[in-house]
Amino acid sequence: MDRKFLPKQIEVLNSIGKYRYILYSGAVRAGKTLLLAHAAIRTCIANEGAVGLMVSYTTPQLRDVVFKTTLQELALYQKAFNDAGIIINLAKWTNSPGNMTIKFFNGSELLFRASDEETKLRGLTLDFVGMDEPVDIDESVFKQLMNRISGGHVKNPFMLLATNPDNENHWIYKYFYRNPTEEYKVIETSTYDNILLPNYHKYIKELEENLDEDWIRRFLKGRWGAFSGQIFKEFNPDKHVTKEVDKMPFTHYIAGVDWGIRNPSAIAIIGVTRDKRVGVVEEWYHSGKTSTEVAKVIEAFDKKYHFRKLFVDRTALDLITQLEQLKLPVHKSKSDVKSGIGRVKSLLKSDHLFIHPRCRNLIREFQSYRYEKDRYGNLLEKPVKEDDHILDATRYALATHSTLRLEPVIGFVKKEMWDF
C-alpha cells in the first residue's frame, strides 16, 4: 500500500490489541486523524462483523475531516487489493445528514457520530472507538463510550484517542497521566517528528517564526501544561474545586448570564454565605439558544434558587427586557472587564471562591483564560476573546461582590469620622 508511517504511528498500531485505552498525543500535522482512519479500517477488515465508532466534537468536523480522511485512506486499501489481483469491493458508504456509515465486505461496520449529539451514542454495542481531538469533548462522552466497547467480534476491544494536548487538569490527563492502570497506553509525538511533511525544514521554520511560545509548546512540541499569560494563576483545582460546595451554608443565591448568538450561552449559579464565601453550585452551557429559550431556563432556575440578583451581559438587551417582564431581579453587568477580573482573582487568592466539580466548563475556562500578546510576544492587558462564556457569566455575578462584611466596614467608617 502506498502509505508510509512514522515510528510513533507504527507504535500506536502495534499497541492495538495490547491495551484497552490508547492515547496518541501530538501536535499539528502529526498524522492523528490519518492514524485513526488506518486503525479503524485495519480492524474492520481483519475482524468479520466488527462494529466501530468514530467520534468528533461537531458534525462539520466529523464530515469534513474524519469521514473524508477515512474514505481517502480506504481508497489506498482498495488499490492495494486490486494491484494484488484480489477482486473484491472492500466497502460501501453512506454520507447523508445524520448518517455517515461505511459497511465492509465482511459485515464489519464503521459508524461516524458527533459528540454534540450525545443521545445518538447511547445504546450502541461496539468493538472499538476512535476519538478525534477528544480534548474538545466532554468527559461524560468518554465515560459513556467506555461502557459501549463490550466486544464480541474483536478479541481485545479498544478505544484510540488522537488529540492535541491541553492543560494538566483536563480529564484526558487525569486518566492517562495521573492515575493510569495497565490498560492505558500513552504515545507522544510532535510536529518535529513528522519528517514526512513536504518541505519539512521550511514548514517548521515558518511556524516557529510566526507562533508565540505557548503555541509552539502545545501545537509544535505537543506538551501538556498551562499557558503562559494565564490570567487566573491563583486558581488551584485541588483547592478551589470541591464537592463541599453542596455543604456550604448559603444565605442566598445570585447568578451571572452570558448570552451568545453564535457562541454558547452560559449561566453561572452562585451561592453566598454569611461570611461572604461564594460557591458556584451549578452551570448551564448550551449553543444555539434564543434569548426567549434562555429566559425560560433562567425563570426555571429562579423557582429553584430564588435569586437575589441576576447579572446579565449588558449588551443582551432583548434578554434583559424579557427577564424584566418576568419580574426577575435583573441587573446589567459592569462594563469594566479589568475590575471584574481583579475581583475574581481576589476571591480566589483569599480562598473565598469554590466551584463544584459538576461545573466542568467553568473549570476548563479558568485554566485556559489568558491575555493576548502583541507581535513581539509581549503580554497585553486584554484577555483573548474565546472560550470564556461561563467565565464571563461568573465574572458578571461576582464583579460587585465584596469579601468584607457590612458591619465591620460601617464600624470602621464611624471610628474614622469620630477621630476626625
DSSP count for the chain of H helices, then E strands: 15, 16
C-alpha to C-alpha distance for 412 and 420, rounded to whole angstroms: 12
287-291 — which CB contacts under 8 Å span 24+ positions?
Answer: 287/116, 287/260, 287/263, 289/265, 291/259, 291/316, 291/318, 291/319, 291/322
Q: Which residues pair with 163 in a beta bridge?
A: 25
Retrieve residue 376's grid coordinates. 513581539
What pLDDT sits at residue 351?
Answer: 92
Share of the chain above pLDDT 90, in %: 56
Q: Of 222 and 342, which is predicted with more confidence?
A: 342
Cβ–Cβ < 8 Å for 403, 347: yes
- Count how many Cα atoms sit within 13 Å of the Cα of residue 73 in the half-sphere of its side chain: 21
Read off the pLDDT band of 410 (50, 70, 90): very low
List, for residues 148-162, the tens digit of each pLDDT value: 998 789 999 999 999
Read off the pLDDT band of 377 (50, 70, 90): low
Q: Which of 261, 404, 282 is nearest to 355 (CA)?
A: 282
Q: 192: burial class by Cβ within 10 Å (0-12, 13-18, 19+)?
A: middle
Cβ–Cβ < 8 Å for 276, 408: no
Read off the pLDDT band of 262 (50, 70, 90): confident
List, for residues 291-308, the tens digit of each pLDDT value: 999 999 999 999 999 999
Domains and CATH numbers, the chain: 7-220 (3.40.50.300), 237-406 (3.30.420.280)
What pLDDT sits at residue 414?
Answer: 38
| Residue 40 reports pLDDT greater than 50 | yes
| Residue 6 reports pLDDT greater than 50 | yes
Read off the pLDDT band of 411 (50, 70, 90): very low
315-321 — which CB contacts under 8 Å span 24+ positions?
Answer: 316/257, 316/259, 316/291, 318/291, 319/257, 319/259, 319/291, 319/294, 319/295
Q: Of 381 and 63, which is predicted with more confidence?
A: 63
**pTM for this model (two decimals):** 0.59
Query: What stretches of 294-334 adopt beta strand conformation (E)?
Result: 309-312, 330-332
What pLDDT sits at residue 214?
Answer: 65
Q: Of 215 and 358, which is predicted with more confidence?
A: 358
C-alpha to C-alpha distance for 148 and 140, rounded to whole angstroms: 13
SS3 content of the chain, % helix, strand, coil (to 5): 40, 25, 35
CA angle 377, 379, 381 (to 5 degrees): 150
What pLDDT sits at residue 355?
Answer: 96
Torsion of CA 409, 410, 416, 420, to 10 degrees: 160
C-alpha to C-alpha distance for 161 and 188, rounded to whole angstroms: 12
| Residue 200 reports pLDDT greater than 60 | yes
What pLDDT sits at residue 405?
Answer: 45
C-alpha to C-alpha distance for 245 and 268, rounded to whole angstroms: 14
Integer CA distances (angstroms), 126 to 17, 59, 108, 121, 355, in order:
15, 20, 11, 10, 35
Q: Of 223 and 363, which is predicted with more confidence?
A: 363
List, for residues 106-135, the tens digit of each pLDDT value: 999 999 999 876 667 878 899 999 999 998
Q: Of 136 and 194, which is predicted with more confidence?
A: 136
List, for residues 87-97, the tens digit of each pLDDT value: 899 999 999 87
Q: Which of 308, 281, 301 is nearest to 362 (CA)?
A: 281
CA 380 and chain centroid, separation: 25
What pLDDT sits at residue 229?
Answer: 72
Q: Of 364 and 282, which is predicted with more confidence?
A: 282
Q: What is the mean pLDDT of residues 280-287?
A: 95
Retrieve residue 308's grid coordinates. 437575589
Read off the pLDDT band of 213 (50, 70, 90): low
What pLDDT sits at residue 180?
Answer: 83
C-alpha to C-alpha distance for 420 and 45, rounded to whole angstroms: 88
If you average pLDDT over every residue of the chain, what do you get? 86
Q: What is the mean pLDDT of residues 135-157?
A: 89
Among the residue ranges 83-97, 107-121, 268-282, 399-413, the one predicted with the least confidence is 399-413
C-alpha to C-alpha distance for 167 and 370, rounded to whole angstroms: 13
What pLDDT sits at residue 211?
Answer: 61
Q: Of 223 and 12, which is predicted with more confidence?
A: 12
C-alpha to C-alpha distance for 294 and 389, rounded to whole angstroms: 14
C-alpha to C-alpha distance for 123 and 103, rounded to whole angstroms: 19
